[in-house]
Every structure is written in structure tokens, then in C-alpha cells.
Chain A
Amino acid sequence: MTKQKSKKLRGLLLGAGFVAVAAFVFTGCPSQQSMLDRGSAAEKVYVAPGEHDEYYGFFSGGYSGQLSVWGLPSARFLKVIPVFSQDPETGYGYSEETKPLFNTSYGFIPWDDSHHPHISQTNGDADGRWIFINANNTPRIARIDLKTFETKEILELPNTGGNHASSFVTSNTEYVIGGTRFSIPYEQDLDVPIDSYSDSFRGALSFIKVDQNSGMMDLDFQIVVPPYNYDLGRAGKGPSADWVFFTTYNTEEAHTMLEVNASRNDKDFIAAVNWRKAAELVANGHGRTVPGEYYHNYYEGNQGYAVSERKNGVTILDTREIDEDFIYYLPTPKSPHGVDVDPTGEFIVGGGKLATIIPVHSFSRMLEAIDAGAVVERIDGIPVLDYDATIIGEVENPGLGPLHTEFDGRGYAYTSVYISSEIVKWSLETFEVVDRIDAYYSIGHLMITGGDTKNPDARYLVGLTKTAKDRYLPTGPKQNHPAQLYDISGDRMELLLDFPTIGEPHYAQEIRADKIKDNVAQIYEMEDNDHPHALRRIADNRIEREGNVVRVFMGATRSHFRPDNIEGIRVGDTVYFHLTNLEQEWDVVHGIAIKGAQNSEILVAPGQTKTMKWTPTRTGIYPFYCTAFCSALHQEMQGYVRVSAADSDVELTWRTGTN
């Protein structure tokens, strides 16, 4: 893009509808296209049949609520890990074992919007133990175990509106962070006029402690802050490892038509939080406990059934009440979106969404400014540092709408630029743009292999874009969101691959496959099955009735269920099929579905027990069958249930194998 053009367009920024206008203008005129010839691009992404990719990619599902897993560089789709949304494909959120994961203080919530996956870290490097991801709508954080690729835990965040600045971890996964995107009255359920915003509304920054052995999360404390929109967060590294950084916008404190009203100030803030000091203040009794209802849902036992714990009360640090400084505001132009810290921990880069430059703060200069007392004002007790004291560079001509930045560890940063739909590569030494390449179309986040760690390997960059338009065969007015894979190992970025994803991927993570794949479980060991309704011996298959509750302790193996003929069920009964898969062979899965069940099928992994609830409403004969093609005799894997009238005296019986 030429400077002249940039200036001309800068004028457009004053108008309220600038985004739409600029998007229109730029969709049609890409800045530059650099693609290898087809042969060498294909060679770089080719992974032969039967061979494995070098990297796992974890892409957030956005409004699907899930997390998708990819092999890179081939872009093989590996699986969807269901997290915040029910998944009828696997029975996640439909089986009795997984339903409790969806409990919140607002009841059972079957959906959410998942944005930012983050792999657990040790010494600033991704370690492949767990991956965390946030729920934006009803604020929660989930932990997925990378041994089984299953969601094991979901923690609700109280007194928070829109958990967007989440779920980033600190260098040793001491904490996972959460933040309020939509400030709301901090006091739970407070009923006040919306235009009391500035008086009644507050933001909350959440610090969730992680148990290093189990991975279990615990809401340690929240920092109560002025009512801005806390947009994204990121932990420091190395020298800045004790700090986390949040971007803010809407320092105007608008509560209507934010598109215009929250875009007035030249600068908003990056909030720099010394989390170690905040944690010490809490440990030393400087916080206070306020009401805050939330749910903590997690798997109990070896084999996996979830329980819900209802909690109340959260420890807060209110900046208006604490004398010591542990949080600082760094003025940053203009409605910054992303905040990203380079591998050395020194550079803090703001994605100045509406700015015409990319602002770069220096961590060491920030510490100097704090020591020197370079405070221009205090807002609710929070010192605002002098912009000139912390800023170390402003990247000129970055394109329009810079959002997110990652780093290659070789002295360069890569920023996604939404409106002009491109990626710009710039030097951390000169703060000058050295390369740029198109994104198709309207890029949001980008992600580099290990780009958010101390030691990025920086082979590839993935751009996650918002619209596909003409990129693939058309599939109707709404199309899936694309991702693009770039080779960034050389001086110039080169486009290798362009592929559709699931949901709307926001942020993503990529990790060397060898950090995960040897630890992945192939089966659940039957000896460890501690499910209270497991069938540990096939001889124990049985049915128990207690009033209207009927429990079927059922076993599955290739290629039959036991029992498979059941009589004596009555209309009005609640029937639980506790199905144990008695196989111990990798990837041999059985499922169950029964006619008329207002439920999904339930898939059961080898050695696992899962439960399908069924409430028959009509008399008759109900076939059930295995939903997963398991063997040559899969079509024979079926059974019948006889349902009699509510007042029937048909005896409860079950059998297998005797005609």
C-alpha cells in the first residue's frame, strides 16, 4: 500500500461507517500476492498417506463453541473436541456423564462462543499437558486434557460480562486469566438503569490458579477495575513473566452505539498487571470476599464422569481500596484489540485497531517509568503512565486495522491487519515493515508455530480469516471460515495453502506433534474403570428397578449387547442405559441409540462407561442398535426393549443369547 493511499483512507476513519467502506475498497485490491509456484508449495504441505504431520494445530471453534484439531502443514482435519456446545455426534452434553459440564449459575447452557485456546506452558514453552479455552458469552474457562483430547473441566467466572480476554496462561501455567469484555455492575444481579453505567458498572479481571499435578482450576481472585471493555490479554515472558497485559477500549464508558461512541478517544489503555504482587496482596489478606455465584464442573475419577460444584463468594482486589500499586495503565492508540509480548518479554505490542500505527511498548522502560513516577494521572487509584515514557516504537504504514501480532524469534513480528486484509512483517529493531502479504479475506487472529512462547520455531504462520467469498466451491450464502498457511522460514512470507475450517476460528495454537502424540491414550484401561455404574464383568449384566427409575447395566463388544432382550419397562419409567464398552483395542468404539429417544446417540470409547437416558412415552417394541460400525457383524449388533403400559404387570426380565 502506498503512503498516499493510506493518508487518503485515513480520512475515511473519521466517518462512522468507515469499516464497511474500507472493507469494500480493500476486498477488491489486495496489497501483494506472494505464492510459490504450485509444485513447490504442494511439496511443502504434502504428507504422504500413513505418515504424520509435524504439528498439531488447535483452532477455536468460535460460535460453534468447540475446538478443532488439525495436522499441519497438510491441513488434515483430525477431530472436533466438543467443549462448550452439545455434540450429538459423540453424545457430549447428552450423556449423563457429560451433562454436568454444562451447568452454570444460569442453569444448563448448551452453547457458547469459544475464542482463544492456549496450551499450558512450562518455562515459557508450550508443554502439551492441557489446552485451555474461554467461553465468551456465559463467562467460563475449559480445560482439555491432551492425553485423551477431552474436555475435563469447566469453571464459570462470576460477576463478569463477556469473558473475551481469556484463556491465556502465565509462563509456568501458574494462572489462567479471564476478563470482562462487557462491563456490568460488579455486584451480582444488580438491577439498575443502564445509563448509570459510569457509576454502577465495573470490569473484573480474573486470575485462575492451576494445580500443577491435576490441572484443576481454582478462581483465586478478581481485580475490580474501571468500567471499560477489557478485550484481550497475554502474559509476559522471561523478565516480564510476573506480569499480564490486558487491552482496553471504550474508555469513553459508552453503553450505546459503541461503534461510534467508544471510538472517540485517541488513546485507550493497556492494563499491565503485576499478578505476582496481586497474588501476594491476596495471600496477605488485602482482598475481601464478596458474593459471586458460580459453578465448577469437572471429571471425577479415572474414567470420566463429571460432577458440578456450586460455589459462592470470590476474593476481590478493588483498585479504589488498595493503596499499593499492582496495576498500571499504558496509554495506547486507539481502541487496541490484541496485546502481544515478544519471545524476549521486552516488547509489548498493541493492536491499535483504529490506529494508523502499531504501538510498541518497552517492558524495561515501563519499569523505569514506574520507578521514576512518570504518572500522568490516576483513575480509580490506577496510575496512568506517560505514553512517551513507555513507548519504544510506532510501526508506520501497517495497513488499516492492525489486530494481533506474533513473533518468529528472529527479530521480526507479524501483525494481522483486518481492514486491508493482509499480514505485515516488521522488524523489532527498526520498527519498519519489511514484507506484507494478502489474507483471504479480512484476517482476524494469526498464529505462528510456537509464536506465543519464549522459543518459537516459526516454520509456519496460520492466518484465520473471516470470509471465504470466492475462495472455494460456493456453498450458499453462508460459508465456512478459511484459514491460510504461510511459510515464514525465509525472508518473504509465502502462501502455501488455503482451507475451510469449522465454526469461526478466532485464535489458534500450534505445537510440535512430538510434544503430545506419544502421551495420547489409546484405550481406557478396564481395570481402572471406577464409574459407579460400570460393568466390570459381563456376568454382572443386569437391570435394576427402583420405583420408576430403571438402570440397565449393559456391556458391548463386537458384535453384541448384553442384555439385548429387555421386557418389563413401563411408560413413565426413566431408563438409564449404562453402557460399558468391554473392548480394549484402540479406536474400537461402540454406540447406542434407541427409537424415539429424545436424546442423541451415545458413543463409548474402549474401556469406558457412558449413560443414555430414555423416557419412553408409548407402549410397543423399541429396537436399539450400535451406531458405530464396529465389525463385520455390526449389522447384527442390535436388541429390543418391550415397553408396556404404566399399570402393566409384565415382569422385568432380560436375556441374551437364548431365542
Chain B
Amino acid sequence: MKNITLLTAAVFISLTITACGESDAPADRDRSEAPAQEQGLSEFEVEHGIGPVTERVEIGDGFDQAMVDKGRNIYEMKCEMCHNYEGRMVGPELGNVLERRSPEFVMNFILNPGGMARDHPVGQELLREYMTIMPFQNVKEDEARAIVEYLRYYAEHN
């Protein structure tokens, strides 16, 4: 049943993309990272997303302030034009995203947005809702981790 849902979603997405013609076709680099549809998703992937982050990330109790600052810089340069802290914009609000998603999920979404939109049920759902595939913003894995640290910090202090 789950497979049928996924398949239906995949067909829907591909139809959407085809119909949009010149819109955001996923880049090649996403394709190789995504597992084949028939294989289904692992438990980890369902919970934490598809992408280069394949294990739980260590998150401390406090904050690494250097990482928070680095994350804020990248967030303001590469994320903020499409996301509000509160309220939807081009994409969903992010002030409280870590209440909804795991840190690993957020990182994988940043690092593999095309693959997530294509192959992950949550990504597919978000694409249906927002009609825009999130672009890969040339963020490296340690930078994605820093963005997560900043979003944790933001949630704690706002």
C-alpha cells in the first residue's frame, strides 16, 4: 500500500514537472544520490531524510557559539530570501522547524533538496504544497550542520 502511494506520488510529481516544462528539473547530482524507488526507504531515511547524512548527528545540550555564528551567516546569505522564521513564504517557516523535523532531516533537505522532493514522501508533500523544488545552495555538510545549530539557537532564544 505504501509503495502504491509512493508510486502515485512519483507519477504525480513527474507529471507536474513535465507539465511545467522549463521549471526546476532536478539536477543530475541529486539523481545519483537517491536510492531507486523500488527499493523503498530505510527507516532512517523515512525519519531523517535521504542524503549524505546517514547517521544520527551529535547534538549537545548547550550551543556551540562559533557554529551558531557560522550558521547564521550562511542562513542569511543562502536561506533567508525564501524562508521566514514565522509564517510561510516561498518555503515553510523555519523558526520552529526542529520541532517538526530531526536535525539530520533538515541537513539532508539542505544538502539534497532535489532528491528529497523526488523520493521522500515529506519532500513530495512539500512540493505539492509549495510548487517549488528547493534549490541546492552549494552548502557543504559542515555548513548544513552549522545552520541546524543556528536554528536550534534561534528557537531557544525567540
Does A532 sit within 8 A of B, measured CB to CB? Answer: no
* Given A559-B132, A586-B27, A633-B132: A538 in contact with B138 (beta carbons within 8 A): no
Within 8 Å by CB of B135, from A558, A632, A633, A657, lies A558
Q: Do A585 and B135 have beta carbons less than 8 Å apart?
A: yes
A586 contacts across to B, CB distance below 8 A: 27
1/0 contact trace for B113-153 toward A, CB 8 Å? 00000000000000000011001111100000000000000
Does A27 sit within 8 A of B, measured CB to CB? Answer: no
Q: Which B21-55 residues sit within 8 Å CB-CB of chain A?
A: 22-24, 27
Within 8 Å by CB of A526, from B20, B24, B78, B132, lies B78
Query: How far apart are A553's CB and chain B's nearest CB, in angstroms?
Result: 13
1/0 contact trace for B70-111 toward A, CB 8 Å? 000000111011100000011000000000000000000000
* Given A583-B135, A631-B132: A558 in contact with B24 (beta carbons within 8 A): yes
Does A622 sit within 8 A of B, measured CB to CB? Answer: no
Query: What is the CA–CA distance of A585 and B134 in the complex, to the nearest angstrom?
Result: 10
A480 contacts across to B, CB distance below 8 A: none
Query: How far apart are A544's CB and chain B's nearest CB, in angstroms?
Result: 20
* Given A537-B76, A588-B135: A555 in contact with B81 (beta carbons within 8 A): yes
A527 contacts across to B, CB distance below 8 A: 77
Q: Do A657 and B89 have beta carbons less than 8 Å apart?
A: yes
* Interface residues contributed by chain A, number (CB under 8 Å): 26
Q: Do A585 and B81 have beta carbons less than 8 Å apart?
A: no
Q: Do A631 and B81 have beta carbons less than 8 Å apart?
A: no
Query: What is the CA–CA distance of A586 and B24 in the complex, to the nearest angstrom?
Result: 11
Query: What is the CA–CA distance of A632 and B20 in the complex, to the nearest angstrom?
Result: 6
Query: What is the CA–CA distance of A607 and B139 in the complex, to the nearest angstrom?
Result: 13
Query: What is the CA–CA distance of A657 and B23 in the complex, to the nearest angstrom?
Result: 23
Does A149 sit within 8 A of B, measured CB to CB? Answer: no
Known A557-B135, A584-B138, A588-B24; further 13 A-B contacts with Cβ < 8 A = A538-B76, A539-B80, A582-B77, A584-B78, A584-B139, A585-B136, A588-B135, A631-B23, A632-B24, A632-B131, A632-B132, A633-B131, A633-B132
Query: How far apart are A656's CB and chain B's nearest CB, in angstroms?
Result: 10
Query: What is the CA–CA distance of A536 and B20 in the complex, to the nearest angstrom?
Result: 31
* Given A525-B138, A629-B22: A558 in contact with B132 (beta carbons within 8 A): yes
A561 closest partner in B (C-beta): B81
Q: Which A513-570 residues sit within 8 Å CB-CB of chain B?
A: 523, 525-527, 536-539, 555, 557-560, 562
A583 closest partner in B (C-beta): B135
A539 contacts across to B, CB distance below 8 A: 76, 80
1/0 contact trace for A597-626 toward B, CB 8 Å? 000000000010000000000000000000
Query: How far apart are A206's CB and chain B's nearest CB, in angstroms?
Result: 41
Within 8 Å by CB of B137, from A559, A560, A583, A631, lies A583
Q: Do B131 and A536 have beta carbons less than 8 Å apart?
A: no
Query: What is the CA–CA distance of A588 and B136 in the complex, to the nearest angstrom?
Result: 11
B residues with a Cβ closer than 8 A to A are 20, 22-24, 27, 76-78, 80-82, 89-90, 131-132, 135-139
Interface of chain A: mostly helix, strand, loop or mixed? loop
A562 contacts across to B, CB distance below 8 A: 81
Within 8 Å by CB of A536, from B77, B137, B139, lies B77
B90 contacts across to A, CB distance below 8 A: 557-560
A558 contacts across to B, CB distance below 8 A: 24, 82, 90, 132, 135
B74 closest partner in A (C-beta): A527
Query: What is the CA–CA distance of A388 and B119 in the complex, to the nearest angstrom?
Result: 76
B75 closest partner in A (C-beta): A537
A558 closest partner in B (C-beta): B132
A585 closest partner in B (C-beta): B135
Query: What is the CA–CA distance of A536 and B81 in the complex, to the nearest angstrom?
Result: 11
Query: What is the CA–CA distance of A214 and B44 in the complex, to the nearest angstrom?
Result: 48
Q: Do B81 and A538 have beta carbons less than 8 Å apart?
A: yes
Query: What is the CA–CA distance of A582 and B20 in the complex, to the nearest angstrom?
Result: 22
Q: Do A538 and B80 have beta carbons less than 8 Å apart?
A: yes
Query: What is the CA–CA distance of A347 and B46 in the complex, to the nearest angstrom?
Result: 69
Query: How far apart are B12's CB and chain A's nearest CB, in angstroms?
Result: 14
Q: Which A263-300 residues sit within 8 Å CB-CB of chain B?
A: none
Q: Do B76 and A526 have beta carbons less than 8 Å apart?
A: no
Query: How far apart are A467's CB and chain B's nearest CB, in angstroms?
Result: 37
Q: Do A582 and B81 have beta carbons less than 8 Å apart?
A: yes
* Given A558-B132, A559-B132, A631-B132: A582 in contact with B138 (beta carbons within 8 A): no
The 7 closest A-B pairs by CB, nearest first: A584-B138, A538-B81, A537-B76, A585-B135, A584-B137, A632-B23, A557-B81
Query: How far apart are A136's CB and chain B's nearest CB, in angstroms?
Result: 38
- 16 A-B residue pairs with CB within 8 Å: A538-B80, A539-B80, A557-B82, A558-B82, A558-B135, A559-B90, A560-B81, A562-B81, A584-B78, A584-B136, A585-B135, A588-B135, A607-B138, A629-B22, A632-B20, A632-B131
B24 closest partner in A (C-beta): A631
1/0 contact trace for A629-658 toward B, CB 8 Å? 101110000000000000000000000010
A583 contacts across to B, CB distance below 8 A: 135, 137
Query: How far apart are A38's CB and chain B's nearest CB, in angstroms?
Result: 34
Query: What is the CA–CA distance of A620 and B22 in the complex, to the nearest angstrom?
Result: 33
* Given A558-B24, A585-B27, A629-B22: A537 in contact with B138 (beta carbons within 8 A): no
Query: How far apart are A195's CB and chain B's nearest CB, in angstroms?
Result: 62
B17 closest partner in A (C-beta): A632
Query: What is the CA–CA distance of A71 and B118 in the complex, to the nearest angstrom?
Result: 32
A525 contacts across to B, CB distance below 8 A: 138
A560 closest partner in B (C-beta): B90
Query: How far apart are B126's CB and chain A's nearest CB, in angstroms?
Result: 14
Query: What is the CA–CA distance of A629 and B24 in the complex, to the nearest angstrom?
Result: 10
Query: How far apart are A578's CB and chain B's nearest CB, in angstroms?
Result: 15
Query: What is the CA–CA distance of A537 and B76 in the complex, to the nearest angstrom?
Result: 5
A582 contacts across to B, CB distance below 8 A: 77-78, 81
A632 contacts across to B, CB distance below 8 A: 20, 23-24, 131-132
Q: Do A584 and B131 have beta carbons less than 8 Å apart?
A: no
A541 closest partner in B (C-beta): B81
B78 contacts across to A, CB distance below 8 A: 526, 582, 584
A607 closest partner in B (C-beta): B138
Query: What is the CA–CA distance of A657 and B82 in the complex, to the nearest angstrom?
Result: 11
A560 contacts across to B, CB distance below 8 A: 81, 90
B24 contacts across to A, CB distance below 8 A: 558, 588, 631-632
